[in-house]
Amino acid sequence: MEKKIIYSAVQPSGNLTIGNYAGAIRNWVRLQSEYDCFFAIADMHAITVRQDPAELRRRTLELAALYIACGIDPEKCVLYVQSHVPAHAELCWVLNTFTYVGEASRMTQFKDKSQKHADNINMGLMDYPVLMAADILLYKADFVPVGADQKQHVELARDIAMRFNGRCGETFTVPEPLILKGGARIASLQDPAHKMSKSETENPNASVFLSDDRDTVLRKFKRAVTDSGNEVRYGEEKPGVSNLLNIYCTFKGCTPEEAEREFAGVGYGDFKLAVGETVADVLAPIQKEKARLLAEKDELVSYLVSGRERAAYAARKTLSKVYRKVGFWKE
Ligand code: ATP
Ligand code: LTN
């Protein structure tokens, strides 16, 4: 039986946080044996917010190394850089004509980012989910594993696919978001009402980065906000502690009940230390492998070149079909 197809991507727009790991990459590693997977580095999405060119280049390679260090097997999966495959921009243009301005402007991320970058509300920011739909639809993805914040974009991709199929005939697979339980939303350590984000740089203690050394990880958890009371348990009135428990379970691989039992009678200080140590233990081997891959670049580059070729082949097939369906002439 043919394997179902998975597609996902992360933008090289900042240092990855444990939120990106828990909500995205960690889950991909588990999916790669069961599905045919395409994992991209979404550099075209990243430039919707101003980037320093040299930094973007550096981060792109770093993200590729990180994918592999986290356990993505570049021989099993297609791991590639989005801008290396021109079909993304080409399909995006066609899909733009199947997307309403009203739909795009209702996207939560567009509204958030417009507020955050009020001096640069560019067309790309609004077109972001259409480019994302192009990513997904080019590879006929059945499932798109993402954190809860991206669900709305995958739903728009579904709507665009159905609209195109309805008008031009069966062309695209209609994708489904795959929101995995646990780690789907890791909140900021300083404000549990907001998600932990890699572009949050104002408060240095809000996000734990995958590149943070042990001391930094422990310090950030030590400073994490907790709640009133002194019991370590889940509860709506305990958003800070619940977030820390969530992180603990994700990194330890245990259930919420097991974690609550383990920390019964333990004070906030010791609890935060235990969470920090657990996270730091998981990060250490990832950091070591990432450093090795970046030091011996040839291996990394060869994975990305092979990924580009495999991705371009699959994408070209879909794009040719779309061009035919919309009526573009070809000799
Ligand atoms: P930015 O701050 O640049 O918008 P981000 O940190 O929100 O970035 P993205 O590149 O938008 O990260 O997301 C990459 C993947 O990580 C997505 O699948 C997203 O859902 C997931 N993700 C991001 N932040 C979190 C989080 N705090 N908890 C769980 N998953 C997350
Ligand atoms: N917008 C996504 C990254 C992304 C993506 C995709 C995710 C770009 N293209 C296609 C899934 C499928 C993000 O910021 N997380």
Same domain (yes/no): 276, 286: yes
41 lines ligand 2 (CB under 6 A): no
Instruction: Quote the ligand 1 centre to 110 CA distance (angstroms).
Output: 14
Q: Whose CA is nearest to atom 20 of ligand 1?
A: 147
150 lines ligand 2 (CB under 6 A): yes
Tell me whether residue 164 is in a domain: yes
132 lines ligand 2 (CB under 6 A): yes
Residue 308 host element (H or E): helix 297-326
- Number of folded domains that form the chain: 2
Token couple for 20? 């990106």
Instruction: Quote the ligand 2 centre to 329 CA distance (angstroms).
Output: 32
Same domain (yes/no): 290, 322: no
CA dist., res. 222 & res. 216, Å (int):
10
pLDDT (tens place) for every residue of the chain, 331 residues total = 789 999 999 999 988 999 999 888 998 999 999 999 999 999 999 999 999 999 999 999 999 999 999 999 999 999 999 999 999 999 999 999 999 999 999 999 999 999 988 999 999 999 999 999 999 999 999 999 988 889 999 999 999 999 999 999 999 999 999 987 765 689 999 999 998 988 777 888 999 999 999 999 999 999 999 988 888 999 889 999 999 999 999 999 999 899 999 999 999 999 999 999 999 999 999 999 999 999 989 999 999 999 999 999 999 999 999 999 999 999 9
Known active-site residue 198: yes
Same domain (yes/no): 13, 138: yes
The pLDDT of residue 236 is 87
CATH code for the domain in which residue 310 is found: 3.40.50.620
The pLDDT of residue 180 is 76
Which residues lie below 8 Å from residue 285, measured CB to CB, with a gap of 6+?
Answer: none
Residue 107 DSSP code: -
Same domain (yes/no): 160, 203: no
CA dist., res. 144 & res. 278, Å (int):
28
Tell me whether residue 33 is in a domain: yes
Same domain (yes/no): 310, 249: no
Known active-site residue 195: yes
Which residues lie below 8 Å from residue 297, measured CB to CB, with a gap of 6+?
Answer: 61
Residue 152 host element (H or E): helix 151-168
Same domain (yes/no): 173, 203: no
Q: What is the pTM of this model?
A: 0.92
| Rounded CA Rg of the chain | 21
Same domain (yes/no): 255, 302: no
Backbone angles phi, psi at 291, to 5 degrees: -60, -40
Tell me whether residue 173 is in a domain: yes
Tell me whether residue 114 is in a domain: yes
Tell me whether residue 331 is in a domain: no
| Distance set, CA 227 to CA 106, 236, 274 (Å) | 34, 11, 17
The pLDDT of residue 147 is 80
Same domain (yes/no): 25, 115: yes
Instruction: Quote the ligand 1 centre to 237 CA distance (angstroms).
Output: 25
Same domain (yes/no): 143, 17: yes
CATH code for the domain in which residue 238 is found: 1.10.240.10
Same domain (yes/no): 289, 302: no
Same domain (yes/no): 29, 143: yes
Q: Is the dihedral of CA 188, 290, 287, 28 positive or negative?
A: positive
CA dist., res. 188 & res. 135, Å (int):
29
39, β-bridge pairs: 8, 79
Query: Roughly what angle, to the nearest 10 degrees, separates helices 268-295 and 214-222?
Result: 150
Amino acid at 174: V
Same domain (yes/no): 312, 250: no
Q: Whose CA is nearest to atom 9 of ligand 2?
A: 132
Tell me whether residue 130 is in a domain: yes
Tell me whether residue 134 is in a domain: yes
CA dist., res. 151 & res. 137, Å (int):
15
* Closest C-alpha to 45, from 193, 201, 175, 150: 150
11 lines ligand 2 (CB under 6 A): yes
Tell me whether residue 286 is in a domain: yes
Range of the domain at 34: 5-180+297-326
The pLDDT of residue 14 is 87
Strand order of the β-sheet with 143-145 is: 78-81, 36-41, 5-10, 143-145, 176-178
207 lines ligand 1 (CB under 6 A): no
